[in-house]
Amino acid sequence: MDALAALLGRVGVVASLLTALLLSAVLAANVAVLGLGYPPDTTLALFLQAAPVICLFLGNLATLIAFYGTYRILRRKDEYNVRDDLKGHAADLPGRTQGLPAQLARQLGCTGMLSATTLAASLVVTGLTLAPQPFRGLGVIAVGAGYQPARLGSTVLPTAPTPTPTPSRTPTPIPVVKFAVAPTQYTQDCNTRLQPNPQTITLDNTGSTRDVAWSVTMRESVGVSAQAPWAKPSQTQGVISAGQTAQITLTTGEVDCLVVPNNGTRDFHADFTLAGSRTVYTVTDTITGQTIIT
């Protein structure tokens, strides 16, 4: 039983100290929310509202234990002899109770005063935190889905319910590709050494809303082994940003004139294709062969 009493004594001291610590934290949180304007979230609101009640419970527990200790001393379960006290009263000898305050102080220390103080502080803080408006001066008030700091004497105006925004149908822009090459046809003449050579080709992506990757191939081959392309492009592939244009050149080899019939013409083609598309944009070069007068 004495061991239980000792354990209870320790629990009482811990409860008192815990109450004091929690109360300090609650007051600090209230200063942050009410004084410094820190926005209370759900966790902070829960702490502000629940912690004072926990303090009140712990303060009461500490008080219970402190007074149980006092009761044990008075009932001679501890060192103080209350019977001697009563005999002293009966014999009108109040001097025999002189030892009680000293004994209480020695056995309980400041536990009684500490628990009483924390209990009183807990009562005040709990009352101010949980009281209905306009008496609530600490903690927070639930307004709608959020919380706002409570202020003594102020009434909370409920905020108008926020209308639920109806999701607007935002059309997803469809990528537009409007690509063009210019010129699509030009002529060269073997009688004038194929001038102008090279020929400039403009790749037009101004009508598109996305970048395009292009490549070019020469459809016809010339040369001794028919392996060489009929024209040499300045670049065979590239990327053009949306809304931009690019220029390349096609340089025609004079060897082309060997495969163009005299007094005739022949078409040569450069095929431009875009990545992901099967459309072919063709540039045709009509070469006029040598004029032979017979």
Partner 1 sequence: MDTVLLTAVLVCGLLTFVFILNTMRKLYMRAPRTSVRTLLITTLLSALTALLSLWQLVDVLGQFKISW
User: Least distance (Å) from partner 1 to the CB of residue 173?
Assistant: 43
Query: Residue 107 in contact with residue 71, Cβ under 8 Å?
Result: no
Q: Report the relative pairing of strands 199-204 and 180-182 from DSSP bridges.
A: antiparallel
Q: How far is the CB of 243 from partner 1 (least distance, A)?
A: 54
Q: Whose Cβ is closer to partner 1: residue 66's or residue 190's?
A: 66
Nearest residue (CB) to partner 1, 25 versus 131: 131
| Binding footprint of partner 1 on the chain (CB under 8 A) | 42, 45-46, 49-50, 53-54, 56-57, 60-61, 63-64, 67-68, 70-71, 74-75, 82, 85-86, 89, 94, 97-98, 100-101, 104, 112, 116, 119-120, 122-123, 126-127, 130-132, 142
Shortest reach from residue 33's CB to partner 1, in Å: 16
Nearer to partner 1, 66 or 240 (CB): 66
Residue closer to partner 1, measured from CB, 54 or 242: 54
Name the minimum Å distance from CB 172 to partner 1: 39
User: For residues 27 and 131, which CB has a smaller minimum distance to partner 1 in the complex?
Assistant: 131
Q: How far is the CB of 205 from partner 1 (least distance, A)?
A: 57
* Minimum CB distance to partner 1 smaller for 126 or for 188: 126
Name the minimum Å distance from CB 242 to partner 1: 51
